[in-house]
Amino acid sequence: MIAMVRSLDPNMLDPMYQARTQKAVVEFIWIGGQFLGIPLDKNIHISSQQSVALSETNFLWWGSNIFWSLKKYEKGEMGLVLWDVIAALRVLKKSSPTFLETLLYNWVSNLFSDDQQCVSFDILYHSRTDMMSKVSSRKLHLLNIICRKVMLSDHAQYSSGGENSTSVSTDLWNDLLVSSERELRQRLVAFTFAAVLSRLSYFQKGTCAENMWFPIGVAQMSSWVSMNNGKVHNQLNSLNSTIKGLRSRIASVCEYSAEESCTYCSAPVHFESPDAGVCGSGDPPISPTERHKFPRCLASMRLCSVLQPVWCCVCCGGMVDKLVQATFFTMTTSPLDTNHDDELLYSAPAVPLCPFCGILLQRLMPEFLLSVSPL
């Protein structure tokens, strides 16, 4: 059973009575025991001791429905709200973990190939970096959510009928998550660098670029690429070299400032990690107990503001201070592999979506909604 809340058309309501009281309607949809049209391989192992409540046919239908739902979400233009699917998968993890793992192995293989038989999970595991660079960002977002909220939601050893989860399986999904997030981070950096070069080209031609996206955190991203020189794509290293060579000329087309300081004590904050920053880490006189730690923005790698509320992802827990352009979430390939039209790529508005999960971000407000500004 799925409960869907949808808004009512205000023009259809009586403005004297209903418009003030009746805001939405709840519609219940029964999806159990229905076949939605995607056949599932009957060779998938279900359980050594089948559940009394669910027959083998019901298991296969549930798997078919889950495949059908995830397939719909592969379209980048569709809002990514799949918590009903996540809830069903987590129940299957407890009742029939072997069935769930086999089901998701097939789904992951299908993510990276139109023909499911062409890509085995073992091949994907050993060559995941090369294969992930060729798929859409939305598929990587789906993979991240499934890994975090289902397969790695906890490390308890569920057992049912003698079936046990193994640490090897956990390592597989953890490696997939790490590889996927690294690929998305590289795409975000490449997306930003390409925006800088595009704005610079517009300025050199004398074309107005006021409506184009103003990139933030270019210096921090450049530092991250330099720190991971041997782990990123060669095209990204080349882009980084170009950005470094133009450092003195791009100040007017982007935010390029490598110097950051602590909001509380004004000590310098050096870039050491894309996830967090610690003030005075390179200054010996400052005691470690007196140093302040700040989260970094997932989108820009800049330190998050402590004076203004930031965005928070309920899936990965990351913080976002500067939003990313909507085009980033609908790209079918990596910006390193395709030349995107500038007008389409950089005129899109910024959207409150997580660059690693693709879901809608939440505003992280201070406790009791009190202002964090000094009184």
pLDDT (0 to 100) of residue 332: 83
Higher model confidence: residue 208 or residue 84? 84
Burial 244-263 (b: 16+ CB within 10 A, else e): eebeeebeebbbbeeebebe
Mean pLDDT of 332-346: 66
The mean pLDDT of the chain is 77
What is the value of pTM for the model shown? 0.80
Mean pLDDT of 67-79: 86
pLDDT of 202 higher than 70? yes
pLDDT of 135 higher than 80? yes
pLDDT of 51 higher than 60? no
Q: How many CA atoms lie within 13 A of 78 on its CB side?
A: 14
pLDDT of 313 higher than 90? yes
Rounded CA-CA distance 339/85 in Å is 35
Mean pLDDT of 211-232: 89
Helix (H) or strand (E) holding 163: strand 163-164
Q: Where are the domains of the chain?
A: 2-180
Single-letter amino acid, residue 253: V
The pLDDT confidence band at residue 342, using thresholds 50, 70 and 90, is low
Question: Smallest Cα–Cα separation from 179: which of 138, 251, 116, 131?
Answer: 131
Helix (H) or strand (E) holding 7: strand 2-7
CB 311 within 8 A of CB 362: yes
Token pair recorded at residue 12: 């259809």
pLDDT of 140 higher than 90? yes
pLDDT of 218 higher than 70? yes
The pLDDT confidence band at residue 131, using thresholds 50, 70 and 90, is confident
The pLDDT confidence band at residue 344, using thresholds 50, 70 and 90, is very low
